[in-house]
């Protein structure tokens, strides 16, 4: 399983300043099959300065969720550290 990209990322307004909420479409490849699923995720900055990423899949997938969510979190953390998420 491989996360190819997360595209059409849109930031939604949230009144809590330490929480950033996004939605997008994840392109996922596994067993030579490409699928796209809508995801929602938010990045919350804890009082210690550490970021926590929480991912929700808006559509069902035929793949174990734990490794898929872990890979999505890693991809989102990389996008955030590179400044690729919308402000």
Tens digits of pLDDT across the chain (87 residues): 899 999 999 999 999 999 999 999 999 998 889 999 999 999 999 999 999 999 999 999 988 999 999 999 999 999 999 999 998
User: CB–CB of 42/51 below 8 Å?
Assistant: no
CA distance 28 to 52: 22
The predicted pLDDT at position 23 comes to 96
Domain locations along the chain: 2-81
Q: Find the DSSP H helices in 1-87.
A: 65-81
Give the global pTM.
Answer: 0.92
Question: Which tokens hold the place of 51?
Answer: 């970021």
Which residue, among 46, 47, 45, 55, has the nearest Cα to 75 in the 3D structure? 55
CA distance 40 to 26: 10
């Amino acid at each position: 399983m491989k996360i190819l990209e997360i595209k059409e990322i849109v930031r939604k307004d949230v009144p809590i300043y330490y929480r950033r909420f996004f939605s997008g479409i994840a392109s996922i490849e596994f067993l030579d099959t490409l699928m796209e699923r809508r995801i929602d995720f938010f990045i919350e900055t804890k009082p210690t300065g550490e970021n926590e990423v929480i991912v929700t899949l808006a559509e069902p997938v035929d793949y174990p969720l734990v490794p898929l969510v872990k890979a999505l979190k890693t991809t989102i953390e990389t996008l955030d550290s590179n400044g690729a998420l919308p402000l």
